[in-house]
A and B are shown apart, each in its own frame.
Chain A
Amino acid sequence: MTPFVVMDCVLLTRMSGLPEAASLRELRERIAVCGVNVLYHHFHETLLRPSFDYPDYHNDFAVWAKLQLSDPVLAERFGILDPYSFSSLEELRSAMLDIIDERINSIPVARAAPRGGEFYFFEADTVVFDTGDRISEPAELAPAVARMTTGSVFFHFIEAQRREPIGMDDFSAWLLRFGDETQACRDALQSIDTGFLTLSELRKEICERLAAHCL
């Protein structure tokens, strides 16, 4: 059986070149024209970015709507968007614009952020590399995950869902090759709701599920 190749990834944020947004209308204007890498960063890569925050939402737009626009309705609507449920980032953009338009139409005055609370549009450079680690047997997976960096957890569990097989993490995809005996384990992994976990918490959760359900 082909061993599991442990990869790692690290990220560095940079300015996108777009001006910051100080109001909901400005946010709409910028989202309409920003590159898809900007959307990708603010939806997908926030977990990898250095932060002291432990926000309610994993996407930056929802956090901004809550904290800076003081608009909990908009925050909730942005917050529930699952970027992996869209077939492309353009579809995600379109959904965001619809939400903003609906919100602008439903409130008398479009909200604005306080000075210093503007939304900055970022993108990121990500470096991906092979760690040299290999996993041969399913029983080796849990201890190997426990040793992984949060970058490896992100790459194999979160970002993997955008690669073939779409919607599946790399661990489950690899375990699938071992047949029915790993079914319970795969089910356990695929039922993790990653929306409320930091990468460290996710690593712990994966290890616990691997230990409890199968291997």
Chain B
Amino acid sequence: MEKSLRMYEACAGSSAIRQLRMLGERLSGRRVVHVNSTRVGGGVAEILAWMVPLMRDLGLDAGWEVIRGDTDFYSVTKSIHNGLQGFPINISQKGWATYHATNEMNAETLRPVLEDADIVVIHDPQPAALLQLCGGRRGKWVWRAHIDISHPYLPVWKALRGIVKGYDASIFSMPQFALPLPHPQYLIAPSIDPLSEKNMDLSAEELEAVRVDFGLDPERPLLVQVSRFDRFKDPIGVIEAYRLVKKVQPVQLVLAGGGATDDPEGAEVLQEVMDAAKDDPDIHVLLLPPDAHRTINALQRAADVVIQKSLREGFGLTVTEGLWKGKPVIGGDTGGIRKQVVDYHTGFLVNTPEGAAHRIRFLLYHREKMRSMGEKAREFVREHFLLTRHLREYLILFHSILSGSSEPRIYV
């Protein structure tokens, strides 16, 4: 079923929806085209799957184009991706030639649509070279970087910078992810879809079924961390924290993640976690399939405290998900977690297993405080981190770049 704004009125509030409609009315009929490299799988496709229908619902003539490429192209773009994230990867001239040739091939079919659009939003590096290949473009072009490029491998960034500097604007998720470019750089944080399987309300029966499935005791507090089995997520540190809490409180721990078997290091970390957890029936290490969204949702809702004790993190959307479920989050003092977790308001930032254990004990002892922090956390997410805010910021960007004004204030 195609998403419509009406569906979000109950959770985002009618005034937020009305505000979107008013912003949308003033962009009615504007042709907006998003371009990325995949229709399914990955965070960008997930965003576009709701954003494009909702923009249409607002009256924009929104479309979504996907570029095509062969394995050589995706191998190069994977290297570009890794290089932008700081891995020292040399991309050969042949590799860049493949990148440009694939963009040229896609430009042949997409050029009429892209040159005619009022706004083109190019997501990530894969289709970025389309800009140079659409010389007859009449609209504004925006490059949306979904990844952290703050510490890139310089040869890769130098080559890509030459491509993206020609855009009219770019968008980053956090200021820490950006690098200087000769055009306005907007900041749009990620968001969650409150109606997705990962975040929708679930019945008490469904939560109970998940507890039964995984052998969780409803009488004892439950700590949950959902993340890949990756050393940067510090699952071993979470087990250490759990053990420190268990000395004084009868608690249970769930470490739930997926996809580790495809990744040699992930499998290694999973084995380390299993070894660390062995002989303790109250540590539940769950390797879940990639589509286990409802199960993860249920586990987060069944939790007393949600943990995201990362040592390094991007934005950390699992934190937002936990907060949306009314849970205070114990988060690692890093990356986007710092933006979301505020001591005594939405959870606690910690640096060590000892710190995590201390804060978990605090929350389990101060139940009323835990409840009120959880309520506040949910309201913060409702106001600022649902997809309605994300959509609103795109509309502001469209108004701003279409106005052509250099003034910070635009009356529409």
Contacts and interface: CB of A to CB of B under 8 A. Distances in A.
Contacts of A200: 383
Nearest to B346: A52
A14 B411 CA distance: 18
B412 interface: yes
Given A50-B389, A52-B380, A125-B396, A14 B342 contact: no
Given A8-B19, A129-B22, A200-B383, A13 B186 contact: yes
Interface string A2-43: 000000101111110100100000000000000001001000
Contacts of A116: 176, 334-335, 338
A151 B178 CA distance: 27
A172 B307 CA distance: 47
A159 to B, nearest CB: 10
Interface size of B as a range:
35 or more
Contacts of A51: 339, 380, 384
A126 interface: yes
Nearest to A11: B396
A129 B187 contact: no
A40 B178 CA distance: 22
A120 B176 CA distance: 8
A197 interface: no
Interface string B385-412: 1000100110111011000000011111
A50 B185 contact: no
A122 B185 CA distance: 10
Contact of A122 (B15, B175, B176, B340): B175
B175 A120 contact: yes
Contact of A50 (B172, B335, B377, B385): B385
A15 B399 CA distance: 18
A151 B19 contact: yes
Contacts of A122: 175, 187
B187 A52 contact: no
B23 interface: yes
Interface in B328-381: 334-335, 338-342, 345-346, 376-377, 380-381
A127 B341 contact: no
Interface in B86-140: none
A49 B392 CA distance: 12
A126 to B, nearest CB: 5
B175 A15 contact: yes
B54 to A, nearest CB: 16
B184 interface: yes
A85 interface: no
Contacts of A194: none
Nearest to B410: A127
B317 interface: no
B16 interface: yes
A149 B15 contact: yes
A148 interface: yes
B26 interface: yes
B236 interface: no
**Which of A12, A17, A147 has the most B CB atoms < 10 Å from its CB?**
A12
A17 B180 contact: yes
Contacts of B176: 116, 120
Contact of B341 (A52, A131, A151): A52
A89 to B, nearest CB: 12
A40 B408 CA distance: 11
Interface in B159-189: 172, 175-176, 178, 180, 184-189
A54 B344 CA distance: 10
Given A8-B22, A12-B393, A125 B410 contact: yes
A128 interface: yes
B16 A149 contact: yes
A124 B342 contact: no
Interface of A: 8, 10-15, 17, 20, 37, 40, 50-54, 116, 120, 122-129, 131-132, 147-151, 200
Q: Which 6 A-B pairs have CB atoms at the shortest separation, nearest pair first?
A: A50-B384, A12-B396, A120-B175, A125-B400, A15-B185, A14-B186
Interface of B: 15-16, 18-19, 22-23, 26, 172, 175-176, 178, 180, 184-189, 323, 334-335, 338-342, 345-346, 376-377, 380-381, 383-385, 389, 392-393, 395-397, 399-400, 408-412
